[in-house]
Amino acid sequence: MRRLAGRLAALAGADLTTDPEEWYEAVHGEAPKYSTLLPEVAQTAAERRGLLKEYFEPTAEERDDGKKIPTKAHRAIADLVAAGWIRVVVTTNFDKLLELALEDAGVRPVVIATPDQIEGAPPLAHNACTIIKVHGDYLDTRIKNSDEELAEYDAAMNTLLDRVFDEYGLVVCGWSGEHDQALRDALTRCKSRRYTTYWCARGELKDEVKAVAENRAAQPVTISDADSFFVELEERVSAIHKVGERHPMDTQAAVEALKRYLPEERHRIRLHDFTREATEELVSHMKLEEVAAQENNSAEDVAERFRRFGALSQRTIALLATGCHWGHPEQDRVWTDSVRRLVEADPLRGRPVAGEYTLQYPGLLALYSVGVAAVAASRYEMLASLLLIPVRSADSRDTEPILQSMYPDRIIGDSVAHLLYPHPDAPDNKWVAPRSQHIHRELRSAFAELIPSDDDYDEVFDRFEYIVSLVETDLESEARDVLSIGGQWLDRRARGFTLLPEGIAERVRKEVDRELEAWSPLQAGLFQGSVERLLEVKKTVDAYWARHRRW
């Protein structure tokens, strides 16, 4: 408004040092108003559109300075829309800031800015969001600016507004109502009190809208500004919703929620809290009385407790698999912290009760889910971070790499493993490697969307276990002379792994021969980045598998 008044002052030859508003009031006998100023500067709708364009579209410098871009209020509203709390926005603004914020939040709104767009628009209930621009869009020459243009709306717009104000609750914010006679009339026409109206203002309402608010029986809300109000509103609604959704929450719904938090830095805290809450919910079941108070500890009873912990772990392992597969490197700490938490949350500190390690099972599944996801996404730096997570050992306050304590053969005993994954054809119902085959099956649903093909899933799972066997051997060689004792340690650890398909060792060898130091696991820092060290470890592991006819 000051700029428009300044333009008129310049055209009239006024002193440029004069305050534009004071000049206008002195000449016209009244304070300048936007609705009367604009027609004086630009008389036709097309001229107004050209004039206003510069006020809505940022230059590169303005964009860098954070000007003419969505505000905190726009983004908070967009988050409320994305979460399903807001479905319709009625605005007197011409700009596209809300549309930009919504698109950043993953929502493509239906925009109605002219009467003819009403006829072709889908029903409100079928849209994720409908934006009704009652004064038009600045890119359209039919925008409404003057008091005369704002005095009444087209019949189709009135009908639409009558429906909206009757069928929806209303939050009014940032609207003075001073010039918008047609919008005041639309609110006044609605006689229903089906849902509450909340009227936000920084002070007393102006006379023009006070009667409208009273007619709607509006609840007054005192705010300092739109940004802080909508940001706080979104935070409180989200917090209340979390309390309601925390118990229970469908696994697929949780995964979809996680996907919304992964792409953007602004959801960093939500991503952390969401994953932590799922992890802590699982930890809450990992209590000593779950195993210590059991009178009957037959193999079948123990197997049943493993099945129960497997079911309790499904939501968390699905979140970890999805997060690791689609996440960014700066988010990796979220997944590794969750794995460490599940491993160290065991109140028994890795010691068995009546011969079972049930409370270590969720940590084992978490380790596998993140590891398989990392291999599937070729995220070997993430894999290296995972396999070398320092965890507190059971017998001391010292830490050791997670692989030196978390492996299937230690946690799942022979008799329990065969009950968890019985062989349907063998006379004794036993597989060669039931532990790994059971975990392979237990994780399949978590990877159903990430790896749809069963063959691809088998390949990724087996590649993960093969790399793990190499890394385990390398880690152990630093503490004892494993490579020269011919695999005695491997005999104790590796028998938990699956019956590896023929050819995986050869495929890895060809990759290493072709890529040498550029082989991704070496680039990630495994095997100290040494091809020679890797090949020596591989020779020992392959010899062990060959002796035991694992291929």
The per-residue pLDDT for range 152-209, each reduced to its tens digit, is 899 999 999 999 999 899 999 988 888 788 999 999 998 877 889 999 999 888 888 8
Does 244 map to a domain? no
pLDDT band of 551, cuts 50, 70, 90 = very low
411 and 483 part of one domain: no
267 and 329 part of one domain: yes
Q: Quick check: 438 and 412 in contact, CB under 8 A?
A: yes
Does 187 map to a domain? yes
CA 68 to chain centre: 27
**For the segment 273-282, what is each residue's pLDDT rounded down to a tens digit?**
899 989 998 9
pLDDT at 253 over 70: yes
**For the segment 31-59, what is each residue's pLDDT rounded down to a tens digit?**
887 767 777 887 777 777 777 777 888 88
Number of domains composing the chain: 4
pLDDT band of 491, cuts 50, 70, 90 = very low
Q: 2-11 vs 20-28: helix axis angle to the nearest 10?
A: 60
Length of the chain: 551
8 and 84 part of one domain: no
197 three-state secondary structure = strand
Q: What does pTM read for this prediction?
A: 0.58
pLDDT for the residue 243: 58
How does the average pLDDT of the chain come out, rounded?
A: 83
187 and 311 part of one domain: no
Q: Quick check: 4 and 41 in contact, CB under 8 A?
A: yes
Does 242 map to a domain? no
Return phi, psi of residue 449, to 5°: -85, -30
Q: List the 219-222 sheet strands across, edge first.
A: 170-172, 197-201, 219-222
CB atoms within 10 A of CB 366: 28
Instruction: Give the type of residue at 464.
Output: F
pLDDT for the residue 100: 93
Q: Of the residues 213, 236, 259, which one is the last residue of a structural domain?
A: 236
283 and 367 part of one domain: yes
Q: Which of 131, 17, 146 is nearest to 74 (CA)?
A: 131
**For the segment 285-300, what is each residue's pLDDT rounded down to a tens digit?**
887 766 655 555 778 8
pLDDT for the residue 425: 57
List, in order, residues 6 or more apart from 327 with CB less than 8 Å away: 262, 334, 335
- Residue 179 belongs to domain with CATH number: 3.40.50.1220
Average pLDDT (336-365) is 81
268 and 398 part of one domain: yes
163 and 301 part of one domain: no
| C-alpha separations of 198 from 168, 169, 216, 231 in Å | 12, 8, 9, 16
Q: What are the residues facing 222 on neighbouring strands?
A: 201
List, in order, residues 6 or more apart from 230 with CB less than 8 Å away: 72, 73, 76, 77, 80, 173
pLDDT for the residue 535: 86
Q: Of the residues 409, 435, 452, which one is the last residue of a structural domain?
A: 452
306 and 411 part of one domain: yes
What is the rounded distance in angstroms from the CA atom of residue 280 to the CA atom of residue 273? 10
Q: Quick check: 136 and 157 in contact, CB under 8 A?
A: no
Average pLDDT (90-107) is 92
More confident residue, 285 or 141: 285
Q: Quick check: 460 and 444 in contact, CB under 8 A?
A: no
Q: Which of 423, 425, 297, 424 is nearest to 356 (CA)?
A: 297
Q: Which two tokens stand for residue 412?
A: 């799942």
| C-alpha separations of 407 from 109, 175, 366, 522 in Å | 49, 63, 12, 22
13 and 74 part of one domain: no
Domain hosting residue 184, numbered range:
70-236
pLDDT band of 331, cuts 50, 70, 90 = very high
